Amino acid sequence: MTTLAVDCMGGDHGPRVTLAACRHFLDHEPEAQLILVGRPDAFAGFSHPRARVVEASEVVAMDDTVEIALRKKKDSSMRVAIQQVKDGSAQAAVSAGNTGALMALARYLLKTVEGIDRPAIAYPLPNEKGGATTVLDLGANVDCTEQHLLQFAVMGSALVSALKHVDAPSVGLLNIGEEAIKGSEVIKRAGELLRSAASNGDLNFHGNVEGNDIFKGTTDIVVCDGFVGNVALKTSEGLATMIGGFLKEEFSRNIFRKLAALFAWPVLAAFKRRVDYRRYNGAALLGLRGLVFKSHGSADAFAFEQALVRAYDAARNNLLDRVQARIAHARPLLAAGEPAPQPDAVEVP
């Protein structure tokens, strides 16, 4: 059995959404079990043979500061859920709560893997190939050095390799152009480090990519700082919302527009489904000594279930071991901050 700890109180909707998602998830994943964390009254009427409740008396609100989450709410559902991972009771934790608080608590309780300075948020964005491009960082680190971007690339490669079963996922460095001479000094130096990592067998580095390459699916992974990544994430979510609003508006107009929209509906619906960010919900917090996944705060039951599925897939595919193995192999380069001597070929997971 693979066990997930779920913060059932987090997010905009709390238990009304999280419990419905948990029940549906358990019904479709017979080898999964859940630890449901929250206030006792939240679980009235809920029962499942593969779910047990761990009580927590407090809830981290969406507008709580990191200080409040860390120092004042020591029995919050978010903290207790992460503690289950630290104690070994669960292989991963899932929360739709306050992103800053989740990152701070996860980093405080689980600590970072040796060789990693800062954890990163990795999230799949839909692309035109019918799949998704994993982008990191998406908001955990606004100011990044070239070393951080290299670390993100190593961790992202392990994530995609584990979840998509791709041996050597391609990595792109987000820039204002494909040429190596373009970009800030940090981006140029990051490109040098990524090329060195590629020559050592740590990465499959494609080169610089631009913003539209995320949605083209040019590479499996795109690396950037958290400020740029978060803008890309919000833009994609806005696009999905705009398309939904457009379809609704077309069906509310005169009979001729309704008929035209009706004939075009199969194509429009398929496109809407492809860009529906709910299908890709569940961001991995990479670089920690344990697995933690962040669901969108406004997630409905369908979207929250997708976050559970991603955490479950990561846990049963040994994502944590894969990340640590790739980091260990790349550690000489990560530590030195400059091209390392090329070792003999080593197979990495």
pLDDT in tens, 173-201: 999 988 888 889 999 999 999 999 999 88
The answer to which of 28-32, 269-273, 330-334, 341-345 has the lowest mean pLDDT is 341-345
Averaged confidence pLDDT in the chain: 87
pTM of this prediction? 0.84
Please give the CATH superfamily to which domain 115-280+319-349 belongs.
Isopropylmalate Dehydrogenase (3.40.718.10)
22 burial level (CB within 10 Å; 0-12, 13-18, 19+): buried
> Average pLDDT for residues 331-335, to the nearest whole number?
74
Max intra-chain CA distance, the chain: 70
The SS3 assignment for 102 reads helix
Report DSSP letters for 233-288, one per residue.
HHHHHHHHHHHHHHHHHHHTS-HHHHHHHHHHHHHHHHHHHHT-GGGG--EEEESB
Confidence of residue 347 (pLDDT cuts 50, 70, 90): very low
The average pLDDT across 319-334 equals 82
Return d(Cα 326, Cα 348) in angstroms, integer.
6
Phi, psi (degrees; rounded to nearest 5) at 172: -115, 145
| Alpha carbon distance 280, 293 (integer Å) | 12
- Which carries the bigger pLDDT value, residue 47 or residue 274? 47
Residue 9 or residue 336, greater confidence: 9
Residues with Cβ within 8 Å of 326's Cβ and at least 6 positions away in sequence, in order, are 154, 155, 157, 158, 202, 348, 349
Report phi then psi at 100, rounded to 5.
-60, -45
How confident is residue 225, by pLDDT bands cut at 50, 70 and 90? Answer: very high
Specify whether the CB–CB gap between 54 and 35 falls below 8 A.
yes
| pLDDT-based confidence at residue 336 (cuts at 50, 70, 90) | low
| pLDDT above 60 for 339 | no
Span 140-177, pLDDT tens digits: 888 899 999 999 999 999 899 888 888 899 999 999 98
Which of 10-14, 15-19, 211-215, 343-347 has the lowest average pLDDT?
343-347
Least confidently predicted of 33-47, 48-62, 211-225, 327-341: 327-341
Average pLDDT over residues 272-284: 75
Three-class SS state of 21: helix
Residues 46-71 have a mean pLDDT of 95
**What's the average model confidence in pLDDT over 341-346?**
36
Per-domain boundaries in the chain: 1-110, 115-280+319-349
**Between residues 338 and 325, the one the model is more confident about:** 325
How is the beta sheet containing 51-55 ordered, strand by strand?
51-55, 32-38, 2-7, 92-95, 291-294, 283-286, 120-126, 132-136, 221-223, 170-174, 204-209
Amino acid identity at 196: S
Average pLDDT for 242-252:
63
Express as a percent the part of the chain with pLDDT over 70.
Answer: 84
End-to-end CA distance of the chain: 23
pLDDT of the residue at 325: 85
Distance in angstroms (rounded) separating the CA atoms of residues 340 and 209 = 25
The count of other CB atoms within 10 Å of the CB of residue 316 is 16
Higher local confidence (pLDDT), 348 or 331: 331
In this model, does residue 60 exceed pLDDT 80? yes
* Position with higher pLDDT, 231 vs 223: 223
pLDDT of 90-113, one tens digit each?
A: 999 999 999 999 999 999 999 998
Give me the CATH code for the 1-110 domain, please. Answer: 3.40.50.10950
Q: Is 46 exposed, middle or buried (0-12, 13-18, 19+ CB in 10 A)?
A: middle
pLDDT in tens, 105-135: 999 999 998 888 889 999 988 888 888 899 9
The predicted pLDDT at position 343 comes to: 37
pLDDT band at 237 (very low <50, low <70, confident <90, very high): confident
